[in-house]
Chain A
Amino acid sequence: DQQVKQNSPSLSVQEGRISILNCDYTNSMFDYFLWYKKYPAEGPTFLISISSIKDKNEDGRFTVFLNKSAKHLSLHIVPSQPGDSAVYFCAAPFNTGNQFYFGTGTSLTVIP
């Protein structure tokens, strides 16, 4: 069963506009979430994280929002740039933290 879900496999956005990537989870025990960015032929790289004691975390152009009651988080990128074009995964550590559950990813294309 997929405990972390990204229901949008792809997203296209014009340069300069906002990109919003969504992620849902089913396990209420998750209390920390991460977003990873992946370019083709490279491994995922850490982008931003959020603890469940917060509802927002901001880092430059990237902001992650967490709605615990809805078991939903989102990544906002503003303004979007062509270099942001990549696959974005949300992830949640489980067990003692050694297992990460990943979503299936959303492929973002930022159109110049």
Chain B
Amino acid sequence: GAGVSQSPRYKVAKRGQDVALRCDPISGHVSLFWYQQALGQGPEFLTYFQNEAQLDKSGLPSDRFFAERPEGSVSTLKIQRTQQEDSAVYLCASSSVFPQRERYTQYFGPGTRLTVL
């Protein structure tokens, strides 16, 4: 495919359930990012991978959140023991270059809307 894809597009979980969200970046993109977008807010950074290495996880809100990218392509964001405040759209983005301060952008997937009941 030409763009970043995410699955599932919608996920409803009961409070306390574990969930796994998948991101397929654009083929060959070395950089991969996860964001959380709450209703009425902008995307907020969660974590960043450069190939298979997780170089920045400073945005993960708690130790219930875990992300991996074992082969440097597909990534999974896992949320354990989901809480209602985890309800949000989770966006994945990728980039063909390493982060730079200028002349750089990220390509976003459609997101996974997670609703925790």
Contacts and interface: CB of A to CB of B under 8 A. Distances in A.
A binds B: yes
Interface of A: 4, 6, 9, 31-32, 34, 36, 41-46, 49, 51, 89, 91, 93, 95-105
Contacts of B9: 41
Interface of B: 4, 9, 31, 33, 35, 40-45, 48, 55-56, 58-59, 91, 93, 98-111
B100 to A, nearest CB: 5
A71 to B, nearest CB: 17
Secondary structure type dominating chain B contacts? loop
A66 to B, nearest CB: 13
15 contacts: A32-B103, A42-B110, A43-B108, A43-B109, A43-B111, A44-B43, A44-B108, A46-B107, A51-B102, A51-B103, A95-B56, A96-B101, A98-B56, A99-B58, A104-B41
